[in-house]
Structure 1
Amino acid sequence: MTTQQEIAGPRRSGLADLVRNISYEVMPFTSTERSVVESVPSSVPLTVTATEAKGLDATLGLTERLLARGYRVAPHLPARQFRDRAHVRDVLARLTEAGADSVFVIGGDAPQPAGEFPDAHSLLQVMAEIGQPFTEVGIGGYPEGHGSIPRPVIDDALRRKTPLATRVITQICFDATTTRAWAAGVGLPVTVGMPGPVSRQKLIRISAGIGLGQSARFLQKQQSLLWRFLLPGSYNPTRLTRRLGAVAPGTNLRGLHIFTFNELAGTERWRRRLLDAVGEGEVR
């Protein structure tokens, strides 16, 4: 359990800033809405993933329902699931009507695009031309690179996307120093993606639930996950959070984005312990 004594000195201020800006990623499963309402305060921002198997409508539907319940929700918009400009316009209109003010634009894991958009940059360009209405547009970043895309290609993609976005959410990196060094070259606020306190068994079940192909592609992107998270005793979210807090002051690291794998009750208990540890306890 995290205690006040474990977080002290200069790193405490950096950690407090990160912990005050935690968001959760959830997957659009049948039970997700109920789990969010039962476990997560509406003050915690959410993103909703988009799976190839369930399609974009599942993401949009859950986003609409959570927005209606008072949550701030950013749906993942995977470029490869959009057919054409008219489809983009329809989705933006649907989200605007639901009250969304934030989105997270990604390339998507589908092996082949469904239409005109092979990557996040092409979708962002069309959104800008249409006149996207969102105050916050997130894009992905890879502090440790991508398992199947060369680093120069990843870096160039980020450079081209940056003028069309307002923030970056990283994929998983278990090294705080690497994350800080990478973020220094990014011209946007950076939110650090990291797994929450999910068990290895739950991760395996979730991976199976999203389909073998998509699960394999997820793990391929998250290179560190295979050996830093799946091996016994190799991952502690509080330890990584403290390390990030120690390097965050004076940088563009602005918060933490927790890959919950829908383990929401446990993730929320962990977040509250962190809040108490940095003197930011809250009453729901």
Structure 2
Amino acid sequence: MAHGLCRTAVGAGSRRKLPDVADLAGALRRVSYEVLPLKGTEETVVDHVPRDVPLTVSTSHAKGPEPTIDLAVRLTGHGYSVAPHLAARQIRDTAHLSDLVARLRDAGIDSAFIIGGDAPEPAGPFDDAFALLVALDDLGHPFQRIGVAGYPEGHARIETDLLDEALEKKAPYATHVITQICFDAAATVGWARQVKERGVVLPVRVGLPGVVSRQKLVRISAGLGLGQSARFLLKQQSLFWRFFLPGGYHPGRLANRLAPHLHRPATELDGFHFFTFNEVASTEAWRRSMLDRVS
């Protein structure tokens, strides 16, 4: 069916249960968007994204934290709830961290998304997200909401056991988890069950790509520079190649598969987080169209 909305699938003697429209409608109302701090992002967001959709602003080690902080402050001024990415390996020292936090607090920003970052070497004493979370706690826990990353399919350079241990360590300092992109709904649900069984009961926002063209993904990759682009493709290789399969990628299929598992006792899956790659206009138009159909 159009836009990936389907109701029943039967094949080879088996019947697969697909989401009730209420599941999907609820999931599409509980979304957040990630944007990149590039030229024109502010105007595009203001023109197309409702003020009640929370935002995160990504960062890259090539540009440092300043463009992320600048955009987060400006978008907050437009009435959005914004959580900038703070990457541990970009922070030079405690004074640098204090300055960044002060800028955010002065702008009324009370949320942050804490990551380790992709820099080959840390700029200061913070080697990973946990170290930065501890430092923020020492500063008086300046944010009301703190997100940390989850990896349903693991990480290209980190052992799964270490990822699990890291999430358990970070959980007491965090209020929610946002997962990296995973195209396997069953893998995401299974990972979420295991996380809860290990005692991590934070709400989990499931990361999905927005409505992004193949050309846009290639341009973003190229624009990151050779080293940064290689790291991007290493982490997002399933996304990259998915765009070149017959029929390409469409978020409706994955959303359909995930929606029935949100707000269920076995997991803490809580909603969708769309990696828009700054295609916020097409992603929001798709979301509104889907809501119109299922509502």
How high is the TM-score relative to the length of structure 1?
Answer: 0.93
Q: 5+ unaligned residues in a row in structure 2: which ranges?
A: 9-16
Instruction: Please give the alpha-carbon distance, in whole angstroms, between the structure 1 residues aligned to 2:131 and 2:141.
Output: 14
Alignment of 1:255-270 (within 5 A): 255-270=271-286
Alignment of 1:55-204 (within 5 A): 55-186=64-195, 187=200, 188-204=202-218
Q: Does 1:222 align with 2:236?
A: yes
Classify the secondary structure of the residue corresponding to 1:184: helix
**Per-residue deviation, 1:4:** 7.2
Deviations along 1:220-260, one digit per CA (max 9) or x if unpaired, are 12342243344342422101000001232413111111111
Partner in structure 2 of residue 15 of structure 1: 24
Q: Does 1:52 align with 2:61?
A: yes
Partner in structure 2 of residue 282 of structure 1: none
Q: What count of residue pairs does the alignment treat as equivalent? A: 279
Instruction: Please give the alpha-carbon distance, in whole angstroms, between the structure 1 residues aligned to 2:230 and 2:144.
Output: 33
Tell me which amino acid in the other structure corresponds to 1:2: H
Q: Which has the larger radius of gyration?
A: 2
**Per-residue deviation, 1:100:** 0.6
Distance 1:24 1:10, change over 3 A: closer
Q: 5+ unaligned residues in a row in structure 1: which ranges?
A: 280-284
Distance 1:9 1:177, change over 3 A: closer
Classify the secondary structure of the residue corresponding to 2:260: helix
**Are the counterparts in 2 of residues 63 and 74 from structure 1 also a CA contact under 8 Å?**
yes
% identical equivalent positions: 56
Partner in structure 2 of residue 231 of structure 1: 245
Tell me which amino acid in the other structure corresponds to 2:107: A
Q: Does 1:2 align with 2:16?
A: no
**Per-residue deviation, 1:37:** 1.1
**Are the counterparts in 2 of residues 147 and 223 from structure 1 also a CA contact under 8 Å?**
no
Tell me which amino acid in the other structure corresponds to 1:48: V
Match of 2:225 among 198, 207, 211: 211
Tell me which amino acid in the other structure corresponds to 1:203: L
Instruction: Please give the alpha-carbon distance, in whole angstroms, between the structure 1 residues aligned to 2:58 and 2:120.
Output: 17
Instruction: Please give the alpha-carbon distance, in whole angstroms, between the structure 2 residues aligned to 1:196 and 1:10.
Output: 20
Tell me which amino acid in the other structure corresponds to 1:147: A
Q: Which 4+ runs in 1 deviate beyond 6 A?
A: none
**Per-residue deviation, 1:88:** 1.3
**Are the counterparts in 2 of residues 17 and 254 from structure 1 also a CA contact under 8 Å?**
no
Instruction: Please give the alpha-carbon distance, in whole angstroms, between the structure 1 residues aligned to 2:150 and 2:4.
Output: 32
**Per-residue deviation, 1:213:** 1.5
**Per-residue deviation, 1:10:** 5.1
Instruction: Please give the alpha-carbon distance, in whole angstroms, between the structure 1 residues aligned to 2:167 and 2:233.
Output: 21
**Per-residue deviation, 1:132:** 2.1
Classify the secondary structure of the residue corresponding to 2:67: helix
Partner in structure 1 of residue 12 of structure 2: none
Match of 1:240 among 235, 241, 254: 254
